[in-house]
Amino acid sequence: MLLLVAAFLFTVNIYMQGSTLSMQLKAAPLLVHDADHSAASREIVYRFRQPYFRFAGEIQDPREGIRLLDEGHALAVLDIPPGFQEALLAGRPAALQLQVDATPTAQAFLAASYAGRIVGEFGRETALARTGSADGGETALPLIREEPRVWFNPNQEDRWFFPISELMEAITIMSILLPGAAMVREKQRGTVEQLLVAPLSPFQIMFPKVIAMTVVILVGLSFSLFAVAAPLFHVPMRGSLVLFYCVTALYVFTNAGLGLFAATIARNVAQMGLLAILMVVPLILVSGTWTPPEAMPVWMRIGTYVSPMRHYIDVSYGILFKGAGLDLLWDSVAAIAVLGGAVFGFGVWRFRRQFG
């Protein structure tokens, strides 16, 4: 059963995250109430087009737009008042109203931002046309030109981010669950006592199980990268994969200490699974996977440094997306190593205390 769970987490789950989740605005349904029916109103409506917006129809009453927003049939309603073109031609201020359903917060924020850019560009071009500066005269006006440059992910493909973040969560879950489940099975079968009477230290008993489960996780990692993330979502792997695998093995060793500690408490594999959930959820919440550490309260931001996943995220994104090496990531790798030694040592101490 654990092998089936591992196969799901490293394949189907990665594909689902990459193919279904998106933080970008794509074909957002837009309703239009055009009370002006002029060339200017048709032009502004035309600019709300793919890939960001999708014209979902025209309504005759603004109240109908509110109802459709409440029912979830549209993300935004554009309201163009009467006399819109007349005001523009006379040089008077002309106002538009965009009502956005902010239930999906990220999509609503992007819709409002893109709408502001579209309307601002339309207003600028209209003002230039009125002053006769539309053909080259723009260069004579004082302008602030914004030219953003996005590093490492120029097209801002969130299909790169979600599969890798989900892969790190899968590694975290399995690195706690598999070593702990292996030790629990030894307890259930009664073979722990046989191991304890052998001339072996607790470390010698536990470490081989961690190595075996690390190999299983690295195989799953390879399958996720080369059979799912790279061919299906074109996720880049710019850095050293050897370094990435070594850091992943160190990270699995770190989390294995938590799994071995849980194994000393659990009496069966089912209890081990519940304890793993209790450990994994706080690790993920304070790691920065879902919420950037910069957006957290100060006390919680300090607590993120105790989470090995926080440092593993920095290393993984740095290697895969940025092509960074150990010279830039040494502090995160060192933090994983220090936490790994402390956590694994605690698990060995707990094991010796329980069975010693």
CATH superfamily of 20-140: Periplasmic binding protein-like II (3.40.190.10)
For 145, residues 6+ apart whose C-beta sits below 8 A from its C-beta are none
Tell me what pLDDT residue 343 has: 86
The pTM for the full model equals 0.77
Contact indicator for 255, 205 with CB cutoff of 8 Å: no
Tell me what pLDDT residue 47 has: 92
Tokens of 197: 């009477």
Closest CA to 351 of 253, 215, 256, 271: 256
How would you write 60-105 as a 3-class SS string? CCHHHHHHHHHCCCCCEEEEECCCHHHHHHHCCCCCCEEEECCCCH
Distances (CA, A) of 8 to 78, 96, 106, 213, 222: 44, 49, 29, 16, 14
Tell me what pLDDT residue 137 has: 53
pLDDT along the chain (356 residues), means of 10: 84 84 82 91 90 89 88 91 88 88 87 90 82 58 76 83 89 90 80 70 79 91 92 90 94 89 84 87 83 83 87 92 91 92 84 67
For CA atoms 256, 305, 278, 245, the dihedral sign is: negative
Domain range summary for the chain, segments of one domain joined by +: 20-140, 155-355
Query: Across-strand partners of 29?
Result: 54
Tell me what pLDDT residue 133 has: 61
Summarised one tens digit per residue, pLDDT across range 326-349 is 999 999 999 999 998 888 888 878
Summarised one tens digit per residue, pLDDT across range 23-39 is 778 888 999 999 998 99
Tokens of 309: 């996943």
Tell me what pLDDT residue 138 has: 53
